[in-house]
Copies of this chain bind each other. A is one copy, B any other.
């Protein structure tokens, strides 16, 4: 009855989750159907209700089950697929490829936030910002073009930083933990400037990653990263 997993036994909640997954996969429990309640499953699997709860919670997080108080637990009709991407620190990403990392700043300008920052992100137009444009290289080849706005009011100790020589991304990762973030992947045709900086041709399709991070004082930074042509983001799920 019980299966052996290579490398030892799994926790009970895991085994229960696997069995429920199997029942859904084999359509023993069909889409939209209500499954037995936690108490019954606890009896069936010889576990405590809390353990069953944990297992079902996992499957609900995966999007396979839908749980509502009083109404019970049912198999989701059209399970949405989820994929988690890890957004690495550029330096690490490049060094993992066995390439040497370098970084060059093309623009540093202090001043009020750009229009997009004010209108899209609801930042006061009077906030003190730095606008940065830089390129990250692997073995001397352009890897990413970074266009970043930084809110100097969001993190103490930034006023006197020399962003011309400090890697803003890494400084922020280490010194400005965020509470909330959003991210967006899109595709854009390279502008003439991007093409030049990335060693590409104008109009080439670039994967663009836009990310905003926030802490309790408001927006920390808003960055738009245009990746070199052909670059892609991969994930398992």
Chain A residues with a Cβ under 8 A of chain B: 21-22, 24-27, 31, 63, 78-89, 92, 170, 173-175, 177-189, 203-208, 211, 215-216, 227, 230-237
Contacts and interface: CB of A to CB of B under 8 A. Distances in A.
B84 A180 contact: no
A178 B27 CA distance: 11
Contacts of A206: 187, 205
Contacts of A63: 86
B179 A21 contact: yes
Contacts of A180: 236
Given A27-B177, A179-B21, A180-B236, A86 B78 contact: no
Contacts of A231: 186
A24 B186 contact: no
Contacts of A189: 189, 203-205
The 6 tightest CB contacts between A and B, nearest first, are A187-B187, A186-B232, A205-B205, A25-B177, A187-B205, A187-B207
B84 A80 contact: no
Contact of A83 (B22, B89, B183, B207): B183
Contact of A80 (B31, B86, B237): B86
Contact of A182 (B25, B92, B211, B237): B237
Given A84-B83, A187-B208, A204-B189, A25 B78 contact: no
Contacts of A183: 81, 83, 234-237
A126 B86 CA distance: 36
